[in-house]
Chains A and B, each alone.
Chain A
Amino acid sequence: MTELTRRTAAELAAMVASGEVSAVEVARAHLDRIAAVDDRVHAFLHVDTEGALAAAAEVDRRRAAGETLGPLAGVPVAVKDVLATKGVPTTCASKILEGWRPPYDATVVRRLRDAGLVILGKTNMDEFAMGSSTEYSAYGPTRNPWDLERIPGGSGGGSSASLAAYEAPLAIGTDTGGSIRQPGAVTGTVGSKPTYGGTSRYGLVAFSSSLDTPGPCARNVEDAALLHAVIAGHDPGDSTSIPAPVPPVVEAARQGATGDLSGVRIGLVREFAGEGAEPGVMAAVREGIEALVKLGAEVVEVSCPHFEYALPAYYLIAPSEASSNLARFDGVRYGLRVGDDGSHSLEEVMSLTREAGFGPEVKRRIILGTFALSSGYYDAYYGQAQKVRTLITRDFAAAFEQADVLVAPTTPFVAFPFGSRTGDPYQMYLADLFTIPSNLYGGPAISVPCGLSEGLPVGLQVMAPTMADDRMYRVAAALETVVPPPVPPELS
């Protein structure tokens, strides 16, 4: 029998529903796997063994009582440590929140619990979701199961690595500039950023409020769609939550799995052709596009002239919002406090607390954002970036007149060795080159495995119009019929 940890989420849910295995057995199998391999992978910052077994036992009890279970009931899930989990440590991989136990659940977490998913624990990430490698975690990096000397992507490297290491069949990430998709690409897993406003930010520790989007991570497209359907939908607790029905993502994934893309127009962005991506990545993506054409898709070339300014605009907008959002970490209401020994003023205590509690990338972005928002520079930097954001949105609108989806590499390079980009922060930012446009526009985008380059996974990105998340699932699932998800080398 296939090991439980190798099963898809859909299979596990069916097995639990039929009584073939109990939810507790499924949870134990994954907790055992975590105990066996996580000292090497370090995908988790906190494993909630007790909570997971209790949640699983509750699913078993409800099943025994004849209650109707949701489509993912009893399936384990790992949650990025940027989402508040009631009573369970939530650190954002920062020293400033070490030991904090939130008094409430994020909406996404609440929906997981209500649907009977079993939360295994909290996953590692770049501090406050700022980074592309998890090297900026204050608790040490996560390692890529494909090569333990390489990065798992970021910021949500822990969530994606937990899937590739078979520690969890599903995970939740958050995507501000690519933090779900890029880790998905470099770990050979699926990472989906829903439409901004399609998933609730309530209880998501804010980095860049106009961009932050929770979304599903999985080892295959259908599982990602099933998880998407559980967490998405309007939430009155988030004023930017879209009051509209969730797009039919599960149906679309199943339609795509039939391998028929007749009538689907795939747009290739002229400005992305060859720009900044490794030859091996481009070659794999070209093969993926050829596969989509064989399935019936039509390719059209589109022009998005302002995409080349997306990266600069993002690295003004996101740090500006971060500098404001992270002002809340002042040593008063939660987390760390340093220097409160009677010899320092309140202001000095705040400065000492923030100095000790934040890591270097967070400090750089706070300073950068404070600069971009300061009088005299505001118009030329933050204001101009917001105008560029409008032009990028118009580029997308024009492109979607000609194409149903846009396709591109997810990230310019495969998983890189630790330490190779931390010395030059801007080199790290380039990992986000292809993912950022969708964040600025607000539309959904998914990364799906698309072969290997130099033995390491490559991701193909499918971008769709706002609230047309179903389209990207259809195309991604179709690609999967030709390019099956890659299997990482054994860890043990």
Chain B
Amino acid sequence: MAAISREEVAHLAHLSRLAVSEQELDVFAGQLDVILQAVARVGEVAAGDIPPTSHSVPLTNVLRDDVEQPCLDQAEALSGAPDAEDGRFRVPRILEEES
């Protein structure tokens, strides 16, 4: 049985904001199925009561004193933007025009 269907891949691509083509979907569905069947082997390990590890450094909530530090100015922060206007990132219209 396939671990993942073409429809599921299409749905995941949409969730990931990837406008994949039909041809790509055909290729990815087969490849991802092979990969998922291989990585599903983690399920063979009896790990019911084992705590998860998210990262290897035993540090949590690293804080610093609330002191002002230099940072990028507005022009620097906008320097890589595909489009900017009035000191802001410009994006396509998000809200519908009022009728």
Contact A355 B16 (CB under 8 A): no
Q: Which of A63-71, A141-149, A293-301, A366-374 contacts B (4 or more CB under 8 A)?
A: A366-374
Contacts of A197 in B (CB 8 A): 56-57, 59
Contact A426 B56 (CB under 8 A): no
Within 8 Å by CB of B42, from A312, A332, A333, A347, lies A312
Contact B43 A196 (CB under 8 A): no
Contact B50 A391 (CB under 8 A): yes
Nearest CB to that of B61 among chain A residues? A239
Q: Which B8-48 residues have C-beta < 8 A from chain A?
A: 8-9, 12-21, 24, 27-28, 31-32, 34-36, 38-45, 47
Q: Which A316-362 residues have C-beta < 8 A from chain B?
A: 316, 323, 327, 330-337, 340, 342, 344-352, 354-355, 358, 360
Instruction: Label chain A's interface by main secondary structure.
Output: helix
Q: Assuming A210-B56, A346-B94, A371-B12, is B40 touching A102 (CB within 8 A)?
A: no
CA distance A239 to B31 in the complex (A): 36
CA distance A386 to B47 in the complex (A): 10
Contacts of B94 in A (CB 8 A): 345-346
Cβ of A245 within 8 Å of any chain B Cβ, yes or no, is: no
Contact A390 B50 (CB under 8 A): yes
Contact B72 A351 (CB under 8 A): no
Contact A393 B17 (CB under 8 A): no
Q: How far is the CB of B35 from chain A (nearest CB, A)?
A: 5
Q: Which A278-323 residues have C-beta < 8 A from chain B?
A: 306, 309, 312-313, 315-316, 323
Contacts of B93 in A (CB 8 A): 345-346
Contact A383 B56 (CB under 8 A): no
CA distance A387 to B42 in the complex (A): 9
CA distance A442 to B59 in the complex (A): 13
Q: How far is the CB of B65 from chain A (nearest CB, A)?
A: 11
Within 8 Å by CB of A387, from B51, B62, B80, lies B51
Cβ of A8 within 8 Å of any chain B Cβ, yes or no, is: no
Q: How far is the CB of A387 from chain B (nearest CB, A)?
A: 4
Cβ of B76 within 8 Å of any chain A Cβ, yes or no, is: yes
Q: Assuming A313-B42, A370-B12, A370-B15, is B28 touching A332 (CB within 8 A)?
A: no
CA distance A385 to B39 in the complex (A): 9
Q: Assuming A346-B92, A425-B35, A426-B38, is B79 touching A196 (CB within 8 A)?
A: no
Q: 13 A-B contacts, Cβ less than 8 Å apart?
A: A103-B76, A196-B55, A309-B42, A309-B45, A316-B42, A340-B82, A340-B92, A346-B94, A349-B91, A349-B92, A367-B28, A385-B42, A386-B53
Closest 9 CB pairs of A and B: A442-B56, A386-B52, A334-B80, A337-B82, A210-B55, A387-B47, A351-B19, A355-B19, A103-B76
